Structure 1
Amino acid sequence: MIQEEYDVIVVGAGHAGCEAAAAAANMGSKVLLVTMNMNTIAQMSCNPAMGGVAKGQIVREVDALGGQSGIITDKTMIQFRMLNRSKGPAMWSPRAQSDRMRFAEEWRLTLEQTLNVDFWQEAVTGILVENDTVVGVKTQLGIEFRGKAVVLTNGTFLNGLIHIGEKQFGGGRAAESRSTGITEQLKVLGFEAGRMKTGTPPRVDGRSLDYSKMEEQPGDEVPSKFSYLDTPALTKQRPCYITYTNPEVHEILKEGFEKSPMFQGRIKGLGPRYCPSVEDKINRFADKDRHQIFVEPEGWSTVEVYVNGFSSSLPEDVQYRALRKIAGFEKAKMFRPGYAIEYDFFPPTQLQLTLETKRISNLYFAGQINGTTGYEEAACQGLMAGINAHNKVHGKEPFILKRSEAYIGVLIDDLVNKGTDEPYRMFTSRAEHRLLLRQDNADLRLTPLGYALGLASEERMERVREKENQTAEVVELLKTHGIEPPEINPWLEEIGSATIHEKTRAVNLLRRPNVDLPALARVLPGLTLALAPYGPEALEQAEILVKYESYLVKEHQQAARVQELENFQIRGRLDYHAMPALSHEAREKLLKIQPETLGQASRISGVSPADVSVLMVYLGR
């Protein structure tokens, strides 16, 4: 096995590495997955949850393309909630609490049952490069594995440094060694590197908590799921809980500020803006006398509890004393303290949109090595890197998703064109076409693309065809189903909506903001009967298409206009310094990033619309 040449070698078995290995293998590549510890494959290093605002859309997109994260989440979740239901469908975001141990176990078993995946447990210390092309990896034991493409998904392990108060020690995760050698080699090869920081809260013994002093947060009454396949339905759920910090907690935490690695300057890397530590929160928001704490069980059977909202790198004794002043935590027993971790990353402007590096051919980066944070962001990058690594070594076209096609496309486009100097997290606000990129239609958008790649199965494609046909039939039914005033007016008066004076079509009533399809069907037996043959996904899809028809038309038109710039190719390396009409900043950024299209150029930070006009004139000539 050691002498065999692989199509794709994946370094790291976190969320990015697992998706990369599975995607390349399921498309037909011979894959080697190298990890420092096979017992921590797909470890949920931080919170035991998948999805959330915009992140849930990403998981559904990964699933629609033929990835595994949605399936594994469905098999191992202990609670499901659809967030933002009170807002429009573009904001609906699925989120699941996972059984942390079962999630990792299910991923490992899935990979072990994937025929084209081999495993090797050892640290990788460098890559093998010949003629500016990667040809394999070298391990700590000095073993060289040859491969046509390499995907690096090193997470927080590259020169990882853990901070707890004034104590610091090397590690890629609690009780796990860091990885050395790769950063140093990549710098020699000409790559630019930086440092980032993230953190995690303490874990506590759930048996020592008093849940009667907290607010229960149950899952949805009718829980949904992530995968579009027939994954198991969630029939029972574990509740989460909410409690709050208080002024006494804040005062105890402040006692540790003089030993805080963050406030004393020992941490050099920038942390995630949208997931600050508890000490950062009480320092930045001094006017707030309390902060929300989410109490999240880590599985069906374990008593370990994740204290979401209490991420900290303060001394362990300060964390412990402060925790015990939170309502419900008065007798809390701590399993392990929170900590901050610093690690190396490589600014993603050094990548192509395929996630292949510009300096070294056939070398791909995915996950936190690119400056992102979150399991979901890592998983989708791993999927895309795995797809493109497979395509490259088999002489196939690159696979790139547009910003109007997927949140995955938005994420990668943001990283490559804008870069990031702080951990990048996906939000719905980052997507200008978010009305098109809803969680409910990820299969309609992406499964045909995954099927064409050879990744999404025939079963998935058949489900999409059925959903499309059913949705079209429901929309047509709503346009033709007539409703008489006497049968609907009493209900319209009851909900405070204007009555009708002549026969109307169901579609006209459904367009009203205070009317939804299930409620309309409940008061109209004839409509209920007509809709009976159709599944819930088709009904939901049809309702959204009807209610937002005019907005969707405008959104598609806008996306088409943007696509005109995307279709304008910039071929070869241009000498932007020879274009004096460009601004000085634009010349620098364009020379560094070397965009492939005018659309990509227009999204580079520092490139103005005037600069794009100059480029259009130049390229037109």
Structure 2
Amino acid sequence: MDFKYDVIVIGAGHAGCEAATAAANLGSKTCLITMDMNKVGQMSCNPAVGGIAKGQIVREIDALGGQMGLITDQTAIQFRLLNRSKGPAMWSPRAQCDRNKFSWAWREILENTPNLHIWQDTVKEIIVENGEIVGLKTWWEVTFHAKCVVLTAGTFLNGLMHVGKTMLPGGRMAEPASYQLTESIAAQGITYGRMKTGTPVRIDGRSVHYEFMDTQDGEADFHKFSFMDTSVRHLKQLQCWTCYTNEESHDILRKGLADSPLFNGQIQSIGPRYCPSIETKIVTFPDKEQHQLFLEPEGETTQELYLNGFSSSLPMDVQMAALKKIPAFKDLVIYRPGYAIEYDFFDPTQLKHTLETKKIKNLFFAGQVNGTTGYEEAAGQGLIAGINAHINCHGGEPFTLARDEAYIGVLIDDLVTKGVDEPYRMFTSRAEYRILLRMDDADMRLTERGYQMGLVTKERYELLKRKREEVERIIEFTRNYSIKAVLINDALETLGTTPLRHGCKLIDLINRPQLSIESMAEHIPALKRELDQIEDRKEEIIEAAEIQIKYQGYIERERIIADKLARLESIKIKGRFDYDSLQSLSTEARQKLIKIDPETIAQASRIPGVSPSDINVLLVLSGR
């Protein structure tokens, strides 16, 4: 059998689902190929979305017309806004989701997206002619022809799972690995390596002594992931719990290290440094007497619980014995042990910023095959790959995001410019323009671009326009409204801030850290009337206006810096120089520039090993 499509997406994880729906919604005839239709959008590890910087990525996906934010709001069983004690650049939404409902919600979207077909099978080979991908073959001996292919195979490429000395092939517990596809791609000159990740034990909640744990409650204010109106919590909101390991559990873990695949040479690949296994923690921090654990529900009605912080590939009996030394788990019963998994990934420096491979035209990579980890990073890449696959099929300018436009832009630029030597995870510290990339303004930054591209609906775009108008109206009112000291000083003293000596504009009062727009509205009837005119999403609009007022100076300063550096982004150098012949460059710079072949001077400046003096040489040769 032969099938023909514009875009084929291999793998229905978070990257694949976003890629397929984006391409299809833009008008490409699309096929999503998955091993198991019952595992689409599967949360292989923690059933949670968001977190530090990751939550910002999800809001960007949503602002561009992607699906993850909508599905997260629909299936959340606990929501929290992290880093509230810090400034808005650090605020990050996080939601615990019902694992099964999240997956099913994705399947409902996929099955009802026009132009999108699902095929259950495993891909074993890509078909390349004259340096361009033209199709693929599956294990069921079906040939697919395509103009573009997006690979989002996650941890399945030659996946190998480890529990103690036991090794089992697979891409996820109880699911087969994918074979031959890596080799088929590598035969075209694309290099690959091995990485490792892990997941913790799953616990039967009926065996837990919750009296020895502290509760961690969710929040119920207006914050959520999608900018669309999804404010109603659809599912029952649940607690999480915390506890700590102890010296007794550490002693058992230390005694088991000889049988740990991470320390006995069984696993050679590199794991995520920022999310270490429990055995790595006790080796790296030998003087630490305890490590915090988070017990999180897997769903609204299931007894299955996820033990965040206890990722491990130690033998089952060691995992169990160590956990039973913790009072909350003294009678522990588990569903399955923690395990590590090794898998193939491709060096992301072999990609363009569109996520198309440099060696094979119209072949795109997204997600963990690029050396990243995390559902959010995968989904953001999938969205960009799906958009650009559609553009390659039907024409148009490549769609990319700059580092001052989105965390997704930072993520992709880091991957294609710097490469990875461990699984990449997004942090706010990776972005040099954090104050410009806040969670609250992702729609302001990106929705218009999504609308112009055709992925954002008119309904969503109209919501953005109304929000922008309301925010600007409130800011303008505070800028022009005068306050008399005699009329406001009693209120200021009540609110714990210094009284006025003379009158001022309302915006000057709101700039004080002790005051807010809403606290001022309780004492200024004219302001209250202005706020009462807001018909929808009132809290969100007031928050957006207040952030712009309080942080305007920081925002403007960072924008000036970004605009100055944008000059280097405009200097195109791809294909202009024979770097090997430029002896005025350092040897390392020549090697790195040949490998990466950067698009611009700015990208060249971010390549590790390319020094400021090397950049000056390129500027002179560029006539700047």
Taking a change above 3 Å as real, the CA distance of residues 140 and 457 of structure 1, as seen in their structure-2 partners, is same
Q: Percent identity?
A: 56
Match of 2:122 in 1: 123
SS at match of 1:512: coil
Q: For 1:217-258, what per-residue CA distance to the aligned partner results, in whole angstroms no more than 9, with x for missing partners?
A: 111142521111122512751011111111111111112111
C-alpha displacement of 1:494? 3.9
- Tell me whether 1:611 sits opposite 2:614 in the alignment: yes
Taking a change above 3 Å as real, the CA distance of residues 525 and 213 of structure 1, as seen in their structure-2 partners, is farther
Q: How does 1:70-469 map to 2 (within 5 A)?
A: 70-234=69-233, 236-469=236-469
Contact 1:80 1:223 in 2 (8 A): no
- Tell me whether 1:570 sits opposite 2:570 in the alignment: no
SS at match of 1:253: helix
Q: For 1:306-345, what per-residue CA distance to the aligned partner results, in whole angstroms no more than 9, with x for missing partners?
A: 0000000000011111112223212121000000000010
- Tell me whether 1:19 sits opposite 2:18 in the alignment: yes
Q: For 1:117-144, what per-residue CA distance to the aligned partner results, in whole angstroms no more than 9, with x for missing partners?
A: 1111111111011111001111012211
- Tell me whether 1:591 sits opposite 2:591 in the alignment: no
Q: How does 1:514-529 map to 2 (within 5 A)?
A: 514-529=514-529
Contact 1:67 1:383 in 2 (8 A): yes
Stretch moving more, 493-502 or 460-469: 493-502
State the one-letter code of the partner of 1:349. T
Contact 1:98 1:299 in 2 (8 A): yes
SS at match of 1:134: strand
> Which 5+ residue runs of structure 2 have no aligned equivalent?
none
State the one-letter code of the partner of 1:294. F
Match of 2:542 in 1: 539
SS at match of 2:108: helix
Normalising by structure 1, we get a TM-score of 0.98
C-alpha displacement of 1:526? 3.8
Q: For 1:492-531, what per-residue CA distance to the aligned partner results, in whole angstroms no more than 9, with x for missing partners?
A: 3344422102222210011112222222223434422332
C-alpha displacement of 1:98? 0.3
State the one-letter code of the partner of 1:505. K
1:486 and 1:301 mapped to 2: Cα distance?
58
2:281 and 2:231 mapped to 1: Cα distance?
39
State the one-letter code of the partner of 1:549. Q
2:185 and 2:3 mapped to 1: Cα distance?
25
Contact 1:243 1:327 in 2 (8 A): no
SS at match of 2:616: helix
SS at match of 1:78: strand
Match of 1:46 in 2: 45
C-alpha displacement of 1:191? 1.2
2:231 and 2:517 mapped to 1: Cα distance?
27
Stretch moving more, 604-613 or 493-502: 493-502
Q: How does 1:471-490 map to 2 (within 5 A)?
A: 471-490=471-490
C-alpha displacement of 1:573? 5.5
C-alpha displacement of 1:213? 1.5
2:428 and 2:591 mapped to 1: Cα distance?
30
Contact 1:244 1:327 in 2 (8 A): no
SS at match of 1:539: helix
2:268 and 2:132 mapped to 1: Cα distance?
32
Contact 1:223 1:234 in 2 (8 A): no
2:595 and 2:193 mapped to 1: Cα distance?
17
C-alpha displacement of 1:485? 2.2
Find the partner of 1:602 among 605, 616, 624.
605
Contact 2:16 2:152 in 1 (8 A): yes
> Which 5+ residue runs of structure 1 have no aligned equivalent?
none
Contact 1:249 1:322 in 2 (8 A): yes
2:410 and 2:220 mapped to 1: Cα distance?
32
1:414 and 1:144 mapped to 2: Cα distance?
35
Q: How does 1:52-71 map to 2 (within 5 A)?
A: 52-71=51-70
1:523 and 1:302 mapped to 2: Cα distance?
48
How many positions carry a matched residue from both structures? 620
State the one-letter code of the partner of 1:415. L
Contact 1:54 1:428 in 2 (8 A): yes
2:559 and 2:391 mapped to 1: Cα distance?
29
1:612 and 1:449 mapped to 2: Cα distance?
31
1:3 and 1:187 mapped to 2: Cα distance?
24
Contact 2:127 2:134 in 1 (8 A): yes
State the one-letter code of the partner of 1:560. D
1:417 and 1:571 mapped to 2: Cα distance?
13
C-alpha displacement of 1:571? 4.3
SS at match of 2:311: coil
Contact 1:81 1:223 in 2 (8 A): no
State the one-letter code of the partner of 1:192. T
Match of 1:511 in 2: 511
1:3 and 1:183 mapped to 2: Cα distance?
22
1:238 and 1:257 mapped to 2: Cα distance?
36
Stretch moving more, 504-513 or 529-538: 529-538
State the one-letter code of the partner of 1:596. E
2:486 and 2:207 mapped to 1: Cα distance?
60
SS at match of 2:328: coil
State the one-letter code of the partner of 1:55. K
Q: Where do 4+ consecutive residues of structure 1 move more than 4 Å? A: none
Stretch moving more, 236-245 or 417-426: 236-245
State the one-letter code of the partner of 2:20. A
- Tell me whether 1:560 sits opposite 2:563 in the alignment: yes
Contact 1:225 1:233 in 2 (8 A): no
State the one-letter code of the partner of 1:426. M
State the one-letter code of the partner of 1:608. S
State the one-letter code of the partner of 2:71. I
SS at match of 1:265: coil
2:373 and 2:257 mapped to 1: Cα distance?
25
State the one-letter code of the partner of 2:566. Q
Taking a change above 3 Å as real, the CA distance of residues 573 and 365 of structure 1, as seen in their structure-2 partners, is farther
Q: For 1:17-75, what per-residue CA distance to the aligned partner results, in whole angstroms no more than 9, with x for missing partners?
A: 00000000000000111111111111100001000000000000000000000011011
Taking a change above 3 Å as real, the CA distance of residues 319 and 168 of structure 1, as seen in their structure-2 partners, is same
Stretch moving more, 62-71 or 535-544: 535-544
State the one-letter code of the partner of 2:272. P
C-alpha displacement of 1:270? 0.4
